[in-house]
Structure 1
Amino acid sequence: MNANEAINSQAASLPRSPELMNAGDTLLCLVDLQERLVPVIQHHERIVWNIRRLLDGAKVLGVEVVATEQYPEKLGPTVEPLASRIPSPAASKLAFSSAGCTDVFARQIEQLDSGGKHRVLLTGIETHVCVQQTAYDLLAAGFQVLLAVDATGTRFSVDYETALRRMESAGVMLTTTESALFEWCVVSGTPEFKQVSQLVREPAP
């Protein structure tokens, strides 16, 4: 039984909660994980590791992935091992919010009223600037926005902690890398679950 079959089976008894992500209704968004930004972020090794696991899980489970880069001419491209795992080139931007990248979000916005992808799982840097502004704009556009708190970061703890509190108070749902992977997976006992389990068991850097 795959994830979609499990959801259909569950629908015959109790409906799956609308608070839970599914692989087919979620967009994984990477915000500005660039060569000149990442090294100055607290715990950046763990952040990149978690995002890499999300990308690997997204590939296994068929979750769509998008990425943005802030002024890449000055701040450089997306870091490895993330860049080679992004299926489409990252969208370049000057505005802090990634929601202004019409080539990234225009199709999703058009599909909001027709049952398309209506959730965005945000990752990236910095939490209190580009990630936060992206979250607010996506909320305003009608998306359900989730934030993987262990896959985002800042230079200073006060900015990170304050941004999380502010975003949560506005309706952003806080989650973690492992929680997201298992929500996308839905059930155990499948080949996809075995691959996700391997990602979850990886030792942290």
Structure 2
Amino acid sequence: MPITYFTNKDSALLLIDHQIGTMQLIRTMDLEVVKKNTIALAKVAKIFNIPVIITSSQENNFQGPLIAELSEILPEEFNNRIKRQGIVNAWSDNNFREAVEATKRKNLIMAGVTTDVCLVYPAISAVNEGYKVQAVLDASGSPFEISEETARQRMESAGVVLTATNTLIAELTQDWSRPEGEELINILLGILPTTSIIT
């Protein structure tokens, strides 16, 4: 099967449930890493004018509000976010699915704050409906290693492409000499670990 590379012209970004309460469930990734990568994805989408759909679940309950940076980077998308009332699989929410369809993009970049609940189900559901999906695994995490690993295996078996934030940024950029190249490199540098193995 030929490999399809995503571009800024044919992709949409879906940010699912990056809420401050839900993020506290993550144990398999550092929370700051998840947050930095989510913010980086939002910034890259802004630079490339990639359509972004943001959704949340029960903001007034344990899940809490979305991370504030999303409202600063993508104010319009944040204000138009799909507020789900409890549906686990975002794809099963008609408003969310219709918002995705309205982008007319068949390549979906998905980041869901928990891999094992928020990400796995909509990623597989979208593939089942003919979309190509890349799941950004370092913008999510899980409470347990076993649930993280099984969710990854389940997505990959269903045809979801697993990726990481830096890999995706490079894929969308393709050429660092493009007009936005320096800005994109700065975003990439911003998600690097603070410690270095170089002495």
1:71/1:107 CA distance change after superposition, 3 Å? closer
Please report how far the alpha carbon of residue 151 of structure 1 lies from its aligned counterpart in structure 2 after TM superposition: 1.1
Q: Does 1:63 align with 2:50?
A: yes
Q: Does 1:27 align with 2:12?
A: yes
CA contact (8 A) 2:53 2:100 kept: no
For 1:193, the equivalent position in structure 2 comes to: 181
- 1:74-85 correspondence runs (5 A): 74=61, 75-85=63-73
TM-score (norm 1): 0.83
For 2:98, the equivalent position in structure 1 comes to: 106
CA contact (8 A) 1:32 1:124 kept: yes
Q: Does 1:38 align with 2:23?
A: yes
1:110/1:199 CA distance change after superposition, 3 Å? closer
2:110 pairs, out of 122, 143, 146, with 122
Give the percent of matched residue pairs that are identical in Structure 1 and Structure 2. Answer: 23
TM-score (norm 2): 0.85
How many corresponding residue pairs? 185
Q: Deviations over 1:137-182 (max 9, x none)?
A: 1112211111011111111111111110111011000111011112
1:191/1:173 CA distance change after superposition, 3 Å? same
Q: Does 1:148 align with 2:136?
A: yes
CA contact (8 A) 1:32 1:68 kept: yes
Please report how far the alpha carbon of residue 110 of structure 1 lies from its aligned counterpart in structure 2 after TM superposition: 6.2
Instruction: Please provide the CA RMSD for this pair.
Output: 1.9
For 1:8, the equivalent position in structure 2 comes to: none
1:129/1:160 CA distance change after superposition, 3 Å? same
Q: Does 1:173 align with 2:164?
A: no
Please report how far the alpha carbon of residue 92 of structure 1 lies from its aligned counterpart in structure 2 after TM superposition: 1.2
Instruction: Output the amino acid matched with 2:87.
Output: A
Q: Distance in 1 between matches of 2:156 and 2:26?
A: 22
